[in-house]
Structure 1
């Protein structure tokens, strides 16, 4: 009997998987379309289908809600990558064509990703990543293609559900599906998946992503100081509504889903072989199982534990270490242990040896927290790091603050500008998101020196920085007055980082706003809550052995299972973001994290209050000003000047910006009081430089013809006057078609009667025709040219 050819196990696995994928693709070309309709509690329906579009992708699903449709494809490479993490890429792109628009840029096509596209891509990534198996490290890409956008239903939540369906029906290993809903609160009532117009009236924007058995996978929220009990209720409602989506996607998976690669690979090795080869094939199957990515051989794991466990415990229990000292000590121990393991296990791959030490480090760190309730810096589980605050550091700035929490240090500055400097959104973002412009925005900067590293600086703005800045901005926006007359730019530069830099930006930003005198409704603060569990695969529904950590360090974030960020005022919550590394979290743990985070947030607010308790009421000398002035319609041209000369001169010499309010009112934005006074003097000169006499209604004046036109003549009543039109209909009692019909010429003087100004255009109303009726002898003709 012939046995199996002596192929390498990895090569055999790849051949088997490729063969399965070929068979699946051949069969997929004849698949019919499968679609499931999901009905929510309020009667709205979500449709999810597969089998019609993009069939060469590993998985494809189309989700429709109202007239908004999104197609999401999932493709994963067969070969695993050597990295210790899963290289997942999510690309969400807004298509102008999907909204029936043409891009407004020069090329009239979609260019680089916008901020909204990047933030939505991160939202989808955070919803999917926790459910990939640890052993799956193949490069995977999710692409969200907007097919149609109706301007009523946002496509971001739809994209999460479509991505969940695409992964579920694919052969990519994934422990889904998940469901996603948006929860709003309108008139104190919770509403699931509200329309864009309804969201404009909502005080809550909560995105809930959950898996089966009511397990929370991801939370992302912005709120207008919503009460804690209302927020917790919204989470429960969102998780409940997600279950119907999960059930619908599960039905779709059963109808049209492919077998997962980790299930089919071993079956393909055994498939087609005789009974005689059963033992050999089982042995090969076991070898394949042993070669799962990330799995450490027992003998190597035991040796790493022998060489490094006790020394790692000594490092993590030495509370005198700071971040750099602890990192250097672990790095030195890593070099020593890896050298010993390389000598004892020369046949093992060096990357596997390095990974064995990394897993040992993580296990020791987590075990100390779970068993000893000991954190590496000596704090209790709910204790905050030492906090110090300072404001008004730089006098030329409108507002500034320095917030220090442990080894996390953030410097925040506030700059004001005119309302014309508000950040404008692109048209497609307006359709899908509803926000046209922002008069408050926060820019978050994380230079490499903040973690003692080198790298590109100079304003490089990556996806991480954009996400952290957006979170801090959303946390502070509810406390900014909506009718504030300035555009506010808040910058947050992280000078040192050892965890929770985005939450420190909220604290520092709140202090800087108060230092600048912005009348915020209440100070805001943020804190990060971590989680360490004994989860080792399987079901997390009955998670019992866990520890919640208040104000986590960077290492506690990296080694832990959750990064739960909560921000708000003393009254309520303004923002929340929860990212997990385990496949779902029971609602009980989520509620505990909210409560623990609220207590920590209130404690931070008390500390901040000792530095500055409320916005400054006494304005700084460099505080900008806005003043409204009145310029009548007929004086607008004189104020603006030829080609805008006067306005340009005003801005260049004083720094004052002019904004139109209505037909007669203008806003002057001045960087300080001195500039405003200079600008007002210049404006008076513009308007009074050529002082015009007061004209009396019904009076008769001598006018000089300065121009002949087809429709009439242009005349002036006094020197330096802006010429006014005397229309053909007002030149003579007879109907004439041209001024030459009555012998009028340039330079000729004629008498006209003044009837005030037109209420719409502001132009003079003059007539020569009415004077051709015999006048009384007492009629006085006023010659303003002679008086000059």
Structure 2
């Protein structure tokens, strides 16, 4: 049982040719998870692991909405689900394992209450555990919500909609390995408590997988680890590198200069150790020396951090890099800001749109519309590289989603601010923590656009170096510290609490004590960054940007929606031709959207005229449009006339209507009565009380407004 519901894992019935496969069921959500590795070792110098999360629309009884009516490229939710599994299992493959490995998660059934994203990692752990693939698991994964102050394991979709916390935690028997969270501004202590709760609750899942492995698991195949080309080179090369200035090269402040200095030092040391002339095996020796120098570089950097609290750019472990900010650098964008922290720089841009711009989400959840979009772009020039540019990478999707969760918590409701909002983070320079810079730049661009955020949000990436019981937590890590360190822990939030976090561990996991310390240190950094942001934009601008479109909202009687739309949409097309976009909701809410405020006001006035409803007691300056022997018809507003009876025109007797009023005359009138047919009786306000009021017209019995009809004669 997990969260009060049965979790079952089955193997040996489906997909039997694969190395490891399991079928997992939780409620009516079912997944097939397979794991397969190539027999031969890859020539790549990294672990070639791929995780695919396959959503099948038949799982929810739907036919795909694409042109070809079949599933296409993975959507954002599928990519994020695959990344959760990848980040959980990747650190536990043995060091030096280089066999291409593929884990495929296929959603066979989805009940739209029990989310498959946290079930995929459990299935992957079970499939790898029973397979012959070398892997140091098992792991487990759960989601934690918070309802009424109580933690809930694997909340249903309905419960999650009411939860102040959406936390996904993966771990081994003894430690936490991966954390992903979005929150409605919760405290650091509440987060740690939720993580500890998740780790306790996942122990039963670990017991189940270990039992399966013991009873059904296959023997792991032997693999050829990366050959240590010259283990004896490292100590000698380390001594020579230190003597030749390795410390000074590592402590170079700027990234490109540091890389150039380290490369020059490495090349000089290699050249000194190569024999003159062409010698057999020289190429292999160069490869071995480069690998040895890489190990020496990593060892020295970690030693400087642990022993001297000194980092590659000269900072200590708690210092944030220098920050500079510029608001509104782009003249035509609705909101824009540049956020620079050290050598990481992001241009944030906010664009405001209408409901027509909302994103339709067509996946295995209930069909929804997304009114807040955040896109993270990471071009190759941001790291000084040349690479082929294609579609959005999985990394860009993941980083953008994290920034989106961080900011979403402070956005106003759609009723308060009826715009579809798109934020784009253009990474211009990257030397670590570009996703967190996107949070800061995106927040500033929203404030520059005049979006009434509940509070500013900032983000910071924390690192960790841990060896033999010693550790040091690093604030605002560099790219080098991310690559050579043991943790990437991103924390976002306001001055009051956390709105999003993401943690990836390269070692076996970390304890709650280390996590508490990292969160406390991240809070200090976050407050520092928020202070720098407040120096430029302390609060959102009071007015929308001059280039931003205006949305005017009005409420009409739902029964009058047809007047706004008109036959075949004729009326609404005429209104939009005045220079605005119009959306009409079933409850009578009408929104007028235009970049021209004058045009928006003109359209609103026209709609108000079309849908205005007369009420007893209201006064109008009307115009006589018709006279009859018994009275005058007065136009009150477009489409609405009332009748002023001859007996209500003057204190004395009136022989003919034309003696008092003629067509085209203007006069002040008041609505005295509206009968059941909508007919309006008028009086003159200045004569009220001076002449006897006219008796209301009696309601006609049957037959509608023409009275009873005689029987039909065939």
Output the TM-score relative to the length of structure 2: 0.82
Pairing 1:277-316 to 2, within 5 Å after superposition: 292-302=225-235, 304-305=237-238, 308-311=241-244, 313-316=246-249
**Is the contact between residue 29 and residue 114 of structure 2 (CA under 8 Å) also seen in structure 1?**
yes
Tell me which residue corresponds to 1:8: none
Q: Quote the Cα distance in structure 2 between the aligned partners of 1:465 and 1:692.
A: 64
- The Cα of 1:430 is off from its aligned counterpart by 2.9
- The Cα of 1:584 is off from its aligned counterpart by 1.8
SS of the residue corresponding to residue 429 of structure 1 reads: coil
Tell me which residue corresponds to 2:404: 473
SS of the residue corresponding to residue 582 of structure 1 reads: coil
Tell me which residue corresponds to 1:242: 202
1:393 equivalent in alignment to 2:329: yes
- The Cα of 1:453 is off from its aligned counterpart by 1.4
Tell me which residue corresponds to 1:615: 540
Q: Quote the Cα distance in structure 2 between the aligned partners of 1:587 and 1:296.
A: 39
Q: Quote the Cα distance in structure 1 between the aligned partners of 2:79 and 2:245.
A: 39
1:591 to 512, 516, 519: 516
Tell me which residue corresponds to 2:372: 440
Q: CA RMSD in A?
A: 3.1
SS of the residue corresponding to residue 397 of structure 1 reads: coil
Q: Note closer, same or farther for the CA distance 1:318–1:593 as it changes in structure 2 (3 Å cut).
A: closer
Tell me which residue corresponds to 2:317: 381
Q: Note closer, same or farther for the CA distance 1:171–1:210 as it changes in structure 2 (3 Å cut).
A: same
1:66 to 7, 27, 31: 27
1:516 equivalent in alignment to 2:449: yes
Which deviations, in whole Å up to 9, do the C-alpha atoms of 1:709-768 show, x marking residues without a partner?
A: xxxxxxxxxxxx9xxxxxxxxxxxxxxxxxxxxxxxxxxxxxxxx98379xxxxxx9766
Structure with greater helix share of residues: 1
Q: Quote the Cα distance in structure 1 between the aligned partners of 2:258 and 2:151.
A: 47
Q: Quote the Cα distance in structure 2 between the aligned partners of 1:467 and 1:503.
A: 12
1:460 equivalent in alignment to 2:391: yes
1:582 equivalent in alignment to 2:507: yes
- The Cα of 1:227 is off from its aligned counterpart by 1.5
1:502 equivalent in alignment to 2:463: no
Q: Note closer, same or farther for the CA distance 1:665–1:145 as it changes in structure 2 (3 Å cut).
A: closer
- The Cα of 1:623 is off from its aligned counterpart by 3.7
1:358 equivalent in alignment to 2:289: no
Tell me which residue corresponds to 2:218: 258
1:482 equivalent in alignment to 2:482: no
Q: Quote the Cα distance in structure 2 between the aligned partners of 1:662 and 1:686.
A: 17
Which deviations, in whole Å up to 9, do the C-alpha atoms of 1:439-479 show, x marking residues without a partner?
A: 1121111111111112345x831111111110000000000
Which deviations, in whole Å up to 9, do the C-alpha atoms of 1:6-44 show, x marking residues without a partner?
A: xxxxxxxxxxxxxxxxxxxxxxxxxxxxxxxxx34x543
SS of the residue corresponding to residue 117 of structure 2 reads: helix
- The Cα of 1:52 is off from its aligned counterpart by 1.5
Pairing 1:600-611 to 2, within 5 Å after superposition: 600-611=525-536
Tell me which residue corresponds to 2:112: 151
Tell me which residue corresponds to 2:181: 221
Q: Note closer, same or farther for the CA distance 1:47–1:631 as it changes in structure 2 (3 Å cut).
A: closer
2:677 to 756, 760, 769: 756
Which deviations, in whole Å up to 9, do the C-alpha atoms of 1:323-362 show, x marking residues without a partner?
A: 1111122233344444555648538376444333322222
Q: Note closer, same or farther for the CA distance 1:695–1:140 as it changes in structure 2 (3 Å cut).
A: farther
Q: Note closer, same or farther for the CA distance 1:635–1:158 as it changes in structure 2 (3 Å cut).
A: closer
Q: Note closer, same or farther for the CA distance 1:663–1:566 as it changes in structure 2 (3 Å cut).
A: closer
Q: Quote the Cα distance in structure 2 between the aligned partners of 1:380 and 1:517.
A: 37
1:661 equivalent in alignment to 2:614: no
Tell me which residue corresponds to 2:650: none
Q: Quote the Cα distance in structure 2 between the aligned partners of 1:404 and 1:183.
A: 34
1:554 to 433, 455, 479: 479
- The Cα of 1:659 is off from its aligned counterpart by 0.8
**Is the contact between residue 164 and residue 177 of structure 1 (CA under 8 Å) also seen in structure 2?**
yes
Which deviations, in whole Å up to 9, do the C-alpha atoms of 1:582-630 show, x marking residues without a partner?
A: 1222222222211111121112112211111112223443343222346
SS of the residue corresponding to residue 585 of structure 1 reads: coil
Tell me which residue corresponds to 1:416: 352
Q: Note closer, same or farther for the CA distance 1:327–1:638 as it changes in structure 2 (3 Å cut).
A: same
Q: Quote the Cα distance in structure 2 between the aligned partners of 1:231 and 1:633.
A: 46
Which deviations, in whole Å up to 9, do the C-alpha atoms of 1:494-525 show, x marking residues without a partner?
A: 11111101001111111111122211111111
- The Cα of 1:635 is off from its aligned counterpart by 6.6
Which deviations, in whole Å up to 9, do the C-alpha atoms of 1:191-210 show, x marking residues without a partner?
A: 11111111111010111101
Output the TM-score relative to the length of structure 1: 0.75
Q: Quote the Cα distance in structure 2 between the aligned partners of 1:244 and 1:86.
A: 30
Tell me which residue corresponds to 1:346: 282
**Is the contact between residue 183 and residue 192 of structure 1 (CA under 8 Å) also seen in structure 2?**
yes
- The Cα of 1:315 is off from its aligned counterpart by 4.0
Q: Note closer, same or farther for the CA distance 1:694–1:473 as it changes in structure 2 (3 Å cut).
A: farther
Which deviations, in whole Å up to 9, do the C-alpha atoms of 1:234-288 show, x marking residues without a partner?
A: 01101111222112111110000111113xx7xxxxxxxxxxxxxxxxxxxxxxx
Q: Quote the Cα distance in structure 1 between the aligned partners of 2:100 and 2:272.
A: 32
Tell me which residue corresponds to 1:287: none
**Is the contact between residue 312 and residue 330 of structure 1 (CA under 8 Å) also seen in structure 2?**
no
SS of the residue corresponding to residue 140 of structure 1 reads: strand
**Is the contact between residue 210 and residue 218 of structure 1 (CA under 8 Å) also seen in structure 2?**
yes
Q: Note closer, same or farther for the CA distance 1:312–1:95 as it changes in structure 2 (3 Å cut).
A: farther
Q: Quote the Cα distance in structure 1 between the aligned partners of 2:106 and 2:149.
A: 35
Q: Quote the Cα distance in structure 2 between the aligned partners of 1:222 and 1:630.
A: 35
SS of the residue corresponding to residue 455 of structure 1 reads: coil
Gapped regions of structure 2 (runs ≥ 5): 613-621, 632-638, 640-674, 680-702
**Is the contact between residue 84 and residue 294 of structure 1 (CA under 8 Å) also seen in structure 2?**
no
Tell me which residue corresponds to 1:783: none
Q: Quote the Cα distance in structure 2 between the aligned partners of 1:770 and 1:47.
A: 71
Q: Note closer, same or farther for the CA distance 1:693–1:194 as it changes in structure 2 (3 Å cut).
A: farther
Q: Quote the Cα distance in structure 2 between the aligned partners of 1:684 and 1:203.
A: 40
**Is the contact between residue 552 and residue 604 of structure 2 (CA under 8 Å) also seen in structure 1?**
no
Tell me which residue corresponds to 1:782: none
> How many equivalent residue pairs?
632
Which deviations, in whole Å up to 9, do the C-alpha atoms of 1:124-159 show, x marking residues without a partner?
A: 100110111111011000000112111221111111
Q: Quote the Cα distance in structure 1 between the aligned partners of 2:392 and 2:708.
A: 71
Tell me which residue corresponds to 1:99: 60
Which deviations, in whole Å up to 9, do the C-alpha atoms of 1:387-435 show, x marking residues without a partner?
A: 112212234322111111011111111111112322221042337xxxx
Tell me which residue corresponds to 2:165: 204
**Is the contact between residue 134 and residue 220 of structure 2 (CA under 8 Å) also seen in structure 1?**
yes
